[in-house]
Structure 1
Amino acid sequence: MDAMTDTLPIGPLQEGIWLFWRLNPSSPAYSMPEIFHFDGDFDVKAAEFAFNEVIRRHEALRTTFHETDSGVVQVIDRDPEPVSANVVDLRGLPAAVRSERLQSALDAASNEPFDLSAEPAIRLTAIQVSDSRTTLVLIAHHIVCDGMSMTVVLDEFGELYRSARRGTPPDLGPVPPGYSTFAKGQLAALANGTLREESAYWRERLAGVTGSALPGVDHTATRAPGALDTCMVSLTLDDELTEALSEHARRARSTPFAILLCAMNVMIAAVTGDGDQALGMATSGRTPEFARTVGMLANMIVVRSQIDLSHTFAATLEEVSLDLMDAIDHQDLPFSRMVAGLHDTGPQPGADVVRMLFSAGAAGGLKLGEGRLSEVVARTAEGPFDLVVDCDISPSGIALDWEYALRTYSHEVAQGYCAAYQEVLAALLHQPDAPIDSLGLTEILARVAPLPRGDAPTSAAVPPVAEPDRSADAGLTAVEEAVAAIWSEVIGVPVESPHDDFFKLGGHSLLASQVVVSVRKRISHTASLRLLFDHPQLRDFVSCLDV
């Protein structure tokens, strides 16, 4: 071993990510980009100082990975050479060209793969858009940085940048324990039998399991070569639904996350007709000792539940909450060891055990102390899961980000599912003590998120809704024309018939929120999301407004 490096075996939580990278070395699927527009006087030298100090404080960020005769090892550089930021200068370009080049630069910085065997798995890019705007891309590979770690990285980077600008020492605590300490503890627990009970639990719990997901459509042949293959659609629950969810959580002595998870299980069961649900969920293995350690400390567990649509949502939530707590109680066993020996023998162990992740995301952000920062959603490349849903639950509201693989879902289907989820959740919370199969969920799903063509209907699905008879159209009334103009403005397509359906025109939950706000301001204060979801056709919606 070199005197300036430390070597240890790869951590159990890193094994699956390493294997994916070895099989897909050019894939950026496990990259974690954080993108911010900064308006103000940006200091590249201060940013480089902050970046290198963060790397110096956290050994995971100065680690490379290597295959040896005894297995995969990680090599930690004790005294790394300073790393320069990648600077892209677009300032001399015409405005139209600059905008196009900015998006190209963002895509390149967000999706450029890491060579985990040759370079530390973190990178900083500064794109100089104009003299007063700089776009930052701070990206790390998941093998060295989980979601909670990224919040630490952003927090420390911001403080170090501010201190460099002030010319004063940074206000940071002591360097936390390194990732090697955490990994060695996990390896020791696996070797000495500490996790024997967890192993027995998962062998029994995962017997015969097949990962659950909302059904999609295979349209691989229609994808453009080299296209970015993962897209995102976001859903922010309206205030009324958020309050209903919080109130039900208090009444049921449950948590908002358990309710969101249970609603997703119910939705999948209603679409597929399969009550055996198994969703992946990211958990944190952080004890107080490792609260600010940067590394791959997040594990994945499988929450498996039996969903019977003849039962009430209240009873179903109670069972799902118990399943969730049981899985969390046994979270210490690394996922790679949970799935060891299962029937899945493919190149990516556990691929048939987890097709969809449903987790609570980590909250964090960047503060540079001057100028103005705005965060940008990154466009990322295809990952190993069909669908990943991150729930951001905070005092200010509840939002869900749906990242979906285009190998499985079209944009229309994904947006339809996202809109349908909010409607399904509202129906469940409105009548939690009624049998689930009496709430009309399959009708909601058939209308808002129809199954892709070629999918055979299941016992839970309903026949497609017949198209309305348009022969009697008599043109639009004045109010309908005003609402149609708002729909067209928001969705970006013409709205010409009284029978035009908001969601079939391409509308979804976020656009629905914009429509409702505009209709309230310009036409009627009685417009609501519930009204639009219940009456998505133009004439039906307008007829329910008090004007």
Structure 2
Amino acid sequence: MTEVSPVQHGIWINELAGAGSAYHMPLVIRLEAPVDEGALAKACAALVERHPLLGMAFAESDGVPRLVPAQEPPLLSREERTGAFDLARGPLVRFTLSGDSLRVVAHHAVFDGRSKEVLVADLLAAYRGEVLPPLPPSTPQEEAPADEARAFWAPRWRAPAEVVVPGGVLRSRRAGEGRVLKFPLEVPGVAGLTRFEVLMAALHAVLGSYGNAAVVTAIDLSTRTPGEEGHIGPFVNELPVFSEPTPGAPFAEFAGSLRAELREIYRHRRVPLARAVQGLKPHAALAPVSVSYRRGGGDERVDWLAFNGAVRGAFQLQLLDGPAGVAASLRYDAAELPDPEPIVADLRAWLEKVAADPSIPLPAASRTAVTPQPSPRVAESPGFSGSAGDISEMSPNSGSADDPLLAGITAIWEEVLQLSPVEPYDDIFDLGGHSLTITQIIARMRKRLNIEIELDDFFDNPTIAGVLGVIRQ
């Protein structure tokens, strides 16, 4: 068994909450007719042999997921398989042939955007009968030290607020059914900025023009090292970008400040936000609005932005910067955003204005500015009025000093945290705990004490007394 990475652990946690197809990453390859089905089946098998992560599953033991071989290998099929992947059974890739089109769907737990290019190149080479040279072994990434990331995010992080847009308010950070709108984008060149930076600044300027005084968008950042090029895997991390578009400020100046912030964020791209921000609850999306950008996609036989039928958050903009320009795929939650066309029109209009004059002033807000709410902190458990180590005034629901359930839960906390003593009102995040710690505690409580507690309830009540209170409600 192989330990999972922090990114894989985060995806696994969100899958426990029911992500549906939100983590499915499809692509469609058009093959020359007639298709040699036998050769294609062998090519799919060769691909999985070359990239064994695709043929894995997740086995959970005491709240810790590990990678194990899937119960059956991924095989080429003529029948479309729908529904969510079973991470516990695997495999985590599907190959479906329909006519002369091969649809490949991989799970994000073992796959990222750059992996699409690797998969297409290796699969087509194997289909042509080419012998692929062995891949150099991928050196496992050591978990990046989180101390600098904690110091970086401490003054920046705030819980994402609602986002006002034409026709709605975006609040969702969950995974759910989505719709898609595909369109091209003309991105002008601006001195000192990449096309991605111009796009991000334009999007933030547009959101600011709707009255959002403070803007946050989540972005996917690659964590690949040179030694991981050519490998398939989830070498990506989602982090937030905050800005405050000031009306009247020159666009180029605003974009330059956003570029500087992006470069600072990039230094901490290997540290998942949950390891750097204390008490961060798992969400399918860090913010209601998210952006994914990558270069590539030169092969016109491939639909690189095939839709998975779902969205993470309320507004998920996927961008592919290829030889023909930037192709955009906007996945959105129709319950919160019935019509995304006005936002797309505004984004295009802003890019046209920037092309004509990069120093165009940012507009005044067209609506009442939205002030982000402070990040909610967990309230103290009912009945508590003493010091952290004082249990004399604990409520009946929170247990008493001679409560066997209190003793059993405390023993599990001390075992997982490798820390003693842990007092009833010690916050698990103050003790260095995080999402993996919590899943371990939940699993051991289930196994030893026959007690089930939801992950959200634990995050909302991150003390032993708080957990006891939830159990005894």
Fold match by TM threshold 0.5 = yes
- Between the aligned partners of 1:216 and 1:384, the Cα distance in structure 2 is 20
| Pair 1:265-2:204 in alignment | yes
Match of 2:292 among 345, 359, 366: 359
Judge conservation of contact 1:35–1:376 (CA < 8 Å) in 2.
yes
Shift of 1:68: 0.7
Shift of 1:362: 4.6
**Partner in structure 2 of residue 146 of structure 1:** 112
- Between the aligned partners of 1:48 and 1:20, the Cα distance in structure 2 is 32
Within 5 Å, give how 1:58-457 maps onto structure 2. Answer: 58-69=51-62, 71-76=64-69, 83-88=74-79, 109=81, 111-128=82-99, 134-163=100-129, 169-170=130-131, 172-178=132-138, 181-182=139-140, 185-187=141-143, 189=144, 194-207=145-158, 209-210=160-161, 214=165, 217=168, 229-238=177-186, 242=187, 245-246=188-189, 249=190, 251=191, 253-271=192-210, 273-342=211-280, 345=281, 348-349=282-283, 351=285, 353-364=286-297, 373=301, 375=303, 378-410=306-338, 413-437=339-363, 442=366, 457=367
Shift of 1:82: 5.3
Match of 1:9 among 3, 6, 12: 3
Going from structure 1 to structure 2, the CA distance change for 1:424 and 1:195 (only over 3 Å counts) comes to same
Going from structure 1 to structure 2, the CA distance change for 1:234 and 1:208 (only over 3 Å counts) comes to closer
- Between the aligned partners of 1:340 and 1:459, the Cα distance in structure 2 is 28
Going from structure 1 to structure 2, the CA distance change for 1:364 and 1:186 (only over 3 Å counts) comes to farther
**Other structure's SS at 1:399 match:** strand
- Between the aligned partners of 1:376 and 1:291, the Cα distance in structure 2 is 19
- Between the aligned partners of 2:305 and 2:222, the Cα distance in structure 1 is 23
Shift of 1:212: 5.0
**Other structure's SS at 1:292 match:** coil
Judge conservation of contact 1:230–1:379 (CA < 8 Å) in 2.
no
Going from structure 1 to structure 2, the CA distance change for 1:340 and 1:326 (only over 3 Å counts) comes to same
- Between the aligned partners of 2:73 and 2:255, the Cα distance in structure 1 is 52
Query: Where does the alignment leave 5 or more consecutive residues of structure 1 unmatched?
Result: 1-6, 89-104, 129-133, 164-168, 220-227, 368-372, 443-456, 461-547
- Between the aligned partners of 2:327 and 2:244, the Cα distance in structure 1 is 26
TM-score (normalizing by structure 1) = 0.61
What letter matches 1:358 in structure 2?
V
- Between the aligned partners of 1:375 and 1:300, the Cα distance in structure 2 is 24
**Identity percentage over the alignment?**
24
- Between the aligned partners of 1:207 and 1:237, the Cα distance in structure 2 is 31
What letter matches 1:433 in structure 2?
S
Which stretches of structure 1, 4 residues or longer, exceed 6 Å deviation after superposition? Answer: none
Judge conservation of contact 2:213–2:245 (CA < 8 Å) in 1.
yes
**Partner in structure 2 of residue 468 of structure 1:** none
**Other structure's SS at 1:281 match:** strand
Shift of 1:138: 0.8
- Between the aligned partners of 2:287 and 2:160, the Cα distance in structure 1 is 9
Q: Deviations over 1:359-390 (max 9, x none)?
A: 313524669xxxxx463863422232211112
**Other structure's SS at 1:56 match:** helix
Match of 2:27 among 23, 28, 34: 34
**Other structure's SS at 2:142 match:** helix
- Between the aligned partners of 2:266 and 2:54, the Cα distance in structure 1 is 28
Shift of 1:207: 3.8
Going from structure 1 to structure 2, the CA distance change for 1:48 and 1:336 (only over 3 Å counts) comes to farther
More helix by share: 1
**Other structure's SS at 1:293 match:** coil
Judge conservation of contact 1:229–1:381 (CA < 8 Å) in 2.
yes
- Between the aligned partners of 2:27 and 2:284, the Cα distance in structure 1 is 28
Q: Deviations over 1:228-269 (max 9, x none)?
A: 93222223235xxx4xx12xx2x3x11111111001001001
Within 5 Å, give how 1:452-531 maps onto structure 2. Answer: 457-458=367-368
Shift of 1:211: 6.9
- Between the aligned partners of 1:112 and 1:350, the Cα distance in structure 2 is 18
Judge conservation of contact 1:38–1:374 (CA < 8 Å) in 2.
no
- Between the aligned partners of 1:380 and 1:329, the Cα distance in structure 2 is 31
Shift of 1:209: 4.7
**Other structure's SS at 2:128 match:** helix
Judge conservation of contact 1:50–1:160 (CA < 8 Å) in 2.
yes
- Between the aligned partners of 1:286 and 1:65, the Cα distance in structure 2 is 22
- Between the aligned partners of 2:226 and 2:305, the Cα distance in structure 1 is 31
- Between the aligned partners of 1:421 and 1:299, the Cα distance in structure 2 is 25
Q: Deviations over 1:374-433 (max 9, x none)?
A: 6386342223221111222234323322221223222xx212221221012212342333
**Other structure's SS at 1:302 match:** strand
Judge conservation of contact 2:153–2:276 (CA < 8 Å) in 1.
yes
Shift of 1:459: 5.5
What letter matches 1:267 in structure 2?
V
Q: Deviations over 1:77-126 (max 9, x none)?
A: 7xx965431114xxxxxxxxxxxxxxxx5xxx4x4311110121001011
Judge conservation of contact 2:74–2:93 (CA < 8 Å) in 1.
no
- Report the RMSD for the aligned CA atoms in angstroms: 2.8
- Between the aligned partners of 1:8 and 1:215, the Cα distance in structure 2 is 47
- Between the aligned partners of 2:158 and 2:241, the Cα distance in structure 1 is 13
**Other structure's SS at 1:458 match:** coil
Query: Where does the alignment leave 5 or more consecutive residues of structure 2 unmatched?
Result: 171-175, 371-473
Judge conservation of contact 2:116–2:304 (CA < 8 Å) in 1.
no
**Other structure's SS at 1:204 match:** coil
**Other structure's SS at 1:206 match:** coil
Going from structure 1 to structure 2, the CA distance change for 1:415 and 1:427 (only over 3 Å counts) comes to same
What letter matches 2:316 in structure 1?
V
**Other structure's SS at 2:266 match:** helix
What letter matches 2:184 in structure 1?
T
What letter matches 1:404 in structure 2?
Y
